[in-house]
Chain A
Amino acid sequence: MLVLGIITALALFASLLADRGRTAAGLRRGLKMFLGILPTLLNVLILVSIALYLFPKETLVAWLGANSGPAGYAIAAATGSIALIPGFVAFPLAALLLKSGVGYAVVAVFITTLMMVGVLTLPLEIRFFGRRVALLRNGLSFIGALIVGALIKVFM
């Protein structure tokens, strides 16, 4: 985050020194694109906020912790695919799951689907890639996450 800020500031500074007109054109294009996806992004965040209110973290832990075996994997994959949890919340949550007795493989499925599959962000992804490609990417990532989980089960 801080690194991104520093890189952006340096790039902006260098660009301004090199050519102010071109910099302004670049900033305008960036802003236009931001405004273009803002409504979709807001809608996604609103849906996620409501979903997270209805299914708080504690509920997730209870679900995942109470189910072992195939049901555990299924629940981990489903919640991971749907939930949109930032990394700084997701990893402490995953550590908590491990501590409460959930296996590494289930945690791997949860983490990987969380990172790679985004059901709630699909509207946004469709804006860029179209419906078919977005669904395909998410579907393949879902299968991939299950494979990662299975491999973790073998090696961990």
Chain B
Amino acid sequence: MRKLVEKLGLGEYLLAIAFGLLLLVSRLAGWDFGLGAGRNFWAYFAEMIAFLPLMFVLIGLIDVWLPKENVERHIGPGSGITGTFWIILLAMLQAGPLYGAFPVAYILWRKGCGVRNIFIYLGAFSTLKIPMLTFEIGFLGLKFSLLRTLFTLPVFIGIGCAMEWYLKGRGFTVRDPRRNGSSGMDQ
């Protein structure tokens, strides 16, 4: 059975298949657990499917069009404070949950973005996206949003610097998620 699953390449989808069966059985049997979890799942799935394909189209286009020298010069390892400015601006213009930022970080890394700016990007993406800020101001007020932004900014820039310092000479790389197994630092 295990061999058959591996042969079909279904190993990674095992949980998804089991969950699909659970939803089906729950629908037939009217089981509340499956129905409730199913409702949540479709809500999340709708959120994901609405923006991730757009994100990956953009990533693919960036991959073939954006010259590496350009990225390296602006946000590469030696780009300093202007590089930080550019990477934060880039992150602020985006939308979607944090997991959408990982593939972008990967493509930026491949194009020569520095370690510090990769982690500053993740921090800015998660806390400073403009669409999200408008929401925050609307619900929690300008003063709170402004202060939170002001305090979060040095925090994630600090995290970027700490990561750069810690990872120096440790062979860090952002991996191609298509490749399975561990490499580099986990060995």
Which of chain B's residues have a CB closer than 8 A to the CB of A15?
61, 64-65
Expressed in whole angstroms, the Cα–Cα distance for A132 and B127 within the complex equals: 23
Expressed in whole angstroms, the Cα–Cα distance for A28 and B93 within the complex equals: 25
Whether A91 touches B60, Cβ cut-off 8 Å, given contacts A42-B13, A137-B163, is no
Which of chain A's residues have a CB closer than 8 A to the CB of B61?
11-12, 15, 23, 26-27, 30
Q: Is the CB of B135 within 8 A of A88?
A: yes
Expressed in whole angstroms, the Cα–Cα distance for A15 and B60 within the complex equals: 11
B140's partner among A7, A31, A94, A144 (CB-CB below 8 A) is: A94
Q: Is the CB of A128 within 8 A of B63?
A: no
Stretch at the interface among B50-58, B69-77, B79-87: B50-58
Whether A91 touches B138, Cβ cut-off 8 Å, given contacts A26-B65, A152-B148, is yes
Whether A33 touches B59, Cβ cut-off 8 Å, given contacts A46-B19, A91-B139, A116-B123, is yes
Q: Is the CB of B147 within 8 A of A112?
A: no
Q: Is the CB of B59 within 8 A of A128?
A: no
What secondary structure prevails in chain B residues at the interface with A? Answer: helix
Expressed in whole angstroms, the Cα–Cα distance for A132 and B106 within the complex equals: 17
Which of chain A's residues have a CB closer than 8 A to the CB of B99?
41, 44, 118, 121, 124-125
Chain A, 1-42, contact with B by CB distance < 8 Å: what is the 0/1 string?
A: 101110110011001000000110111111111111101111
Chain A, 32-59, contact with B by CB distance < 8 Å: what is the 0/1 string?
A: 1111110111111110111011000000
Q: Is the CB of A40 within 8 A of B64?
A: no
Interface residues of B in 42-56 (CB under 8 A from A): 44-45, 47-48, 50-56
Q: Is the CB of A95 within 8 A of B140?
A: yes
Expressed in whole angstroms, the Cα–Cα distance for A35 and B178 within the complex equals: 8
Q: Is the CB of B159 within 8 A of A39?
A: no
Expressed in whole angstroms, the Cα–Cα distance for A33 and B151 within the complex equals: 35
A133's partner among B36, B60, B65, B163 (CB-CB below 8 A) is: B163
Q: Any chain B CB within 8 A of the CB of A68?
A: no
Which of chain A's residues have a CB closer than 8 A to the CB of B166?
136
Which of chain B's residues have a CB closer than 8 A to the CB of A48?
40, 44
Interface pairs (22), CB distance under 8 Å:
A1-B131, A4-B95, A5-B54, A11-B57, A11-B58, A12-B57, A29-B59, A29-B64, A33-B103, A34-B53, A39-B13, A45-B48, A46-B19, A49-B40, A53-B33, A91-B138, A95-B140, A107-B144, A115-B127, A141-B159, A144-B152, A147-B155
Known contacts A84-B44, A132-B186, then 5 further A-B pairs from the complex at CB < 8 Å, ordered by chain A residue? A41-B52, A45-B41, A46-B19, A87-B132, A112-B152
